[in-house]
């Protein structure tokens, strides 16, 4: 296997670990700032990236392009206003992901302009330093892409995606309760459609459309 392929997979693994961590730690921090002691009690306010590692979500992210980290422990009952507080907590990581996707895309573009010639040739024909630049560039590009995918994926109103909690903020207590009762069925249907390849094309279309708009602006 070409060395470049190894570098690509290493960059993919690192980008997933980092992006899942940032996404979930954002929820923990935002919830904590609103008076929720739960993340601190579960020792989730940490720089330990593996606290938010979730094997199934990671493998799905690695093989299918979309996944999740260990969901941050959140207790909206501590918020002054439960619905508005929950809305802020669950939309914050999506907004942060979009912003970071743009930031890393800009960094990647600047790198390419600065080291453009280093990206030509095969891994066997370039030096160690050039391979390091290629790896760093690949990592930055994948981080940008992963953040954008996380933002879009988490708009889906099915647990464990943030969209499910965001939707509840707009439902009546009775409707939210009924929705909660049916989430297991929705999850099964969603995963089945996903494994049969009926979800990913639409997610990719949404990611590409959003990326074309955002990345063209900066």
What tens digit of pLDDT does each residue of 100-128 get? 999 999 999 888 877 665 454 444 445 55
Query: What are the residue boundaries of the structural domains of the chain, listed by start?
Result: 3-153
What tens digit of pLDDT does each residue of 140-190 get? 999 999 999 999 999 999 988 999 999 999 999 899 889 988 888 998 999
Note whether 82 and 76 are within 8 A (CB): yes
What is the rounded CA–CA span in Å between residue 55 and residue 37?
Answer: 26
pTM of the model as a whole: 0.90
The DSSP code for 156 is: S
């Amino acid at each position: 296997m070409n060395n470049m392929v190894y570098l690509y997979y290493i960059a993919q693994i690192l980008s997933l670990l980092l992006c899942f961590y940032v996404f979930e730690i954002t929820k923990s921090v935002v919830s904590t700032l609103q008076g929720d002691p739960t993340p601190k009690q579960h020792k989730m306010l940490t720089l330990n990236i593996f606290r938010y590692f979730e094997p199934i979500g990671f493998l799905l992210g690695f093989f299918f392009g979309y996944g999740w980290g260990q969901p941050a422990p959140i207790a909206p009952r501590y918020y002054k206003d439960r619905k508005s507080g929950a809305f802020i907590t669950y939309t914050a990581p999506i907004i942060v992901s979009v912003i970071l996707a743009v930031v890393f895309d800009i960094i990647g573009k600047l790198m390419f302009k600065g080291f453009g010639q280093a990206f030509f040739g095969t891994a066997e024909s370039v030096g160690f330093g050039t391979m390091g630049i290629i790896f760093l560039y690949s990592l930055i590009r994948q981080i940008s892409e992963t953040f954008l995918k996380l933002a879009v994926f988490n708009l889906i109103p099915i647990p464990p995606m943030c969209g499910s909690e965001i939707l509840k903020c707009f439902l009546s207590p009775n409707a939210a309760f009924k929705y909660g009762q049916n989430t297991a069925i929705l999850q099964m249907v969603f995963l089945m459609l996903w494994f049969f390849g009926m979800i990913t094309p639409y997610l990719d279309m949404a990611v590409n459309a959003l990326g074309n708009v955002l990345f063209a602006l900066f």
